Amino acid sequence: MSRHDWWGIVLEAPDPQALARFYSELLGWEIAKEDAEGAAIAPPEGVAYIAFQLSDGYVPPVWPAQAGAQRITMHLDFEVVDLREAVAHALELGARESDHQPQDNVRVLIDPAGHPFCLYQEGSSD
């Protein structure tokens, strides 16, 4: 990782290496870095990455928001070709589907550490 044009996001997690493996499998991205404090994944081409940082005392956010509970401050969106297939794949990897689904062409899922993320299909009525 000798580049100087990288940009990305960092998610806190109680087990960052496991969460990196989850998203690596979900997205088909390589694990670019891994150590005791965290891990990062990156696509084969481009300058973006998702990093996962060890967080002692991590409290997962609640979706949808509830008074007095840990709120989400951001979430990840991934466009997919086949929404049903992508959701099934995410569930096989350890995600769970949220009970609250605000749009027909979007599926809100919860990753193994409790972060909400969305899979969506443009123009779909799925």
Look at the block and give the residue holding tokens 């550490």.
113
The pLDDT, as a whole number, for residue 118 is 97
pLDDT-based confidence at 123, cuts 50/70/90? Answer: confident
The pLDDT, as a whole number, for residue 72 is 87
pLDDT-based confidence at 89, cuts 50/70/90? Answer: very high
Q: Report the greatest alpha carbon distance in the chain.
A: 44
Tokens of 73: 């401050």
Average pLDDT over residues 7-33: 96
- Within its chain, how far is the Cα of 54 from the centroid? 15
Tokens of 90: 């995410």
What phi and psi values does residue 58 have, to the nearest 5 degrees? Answer: -55, 135
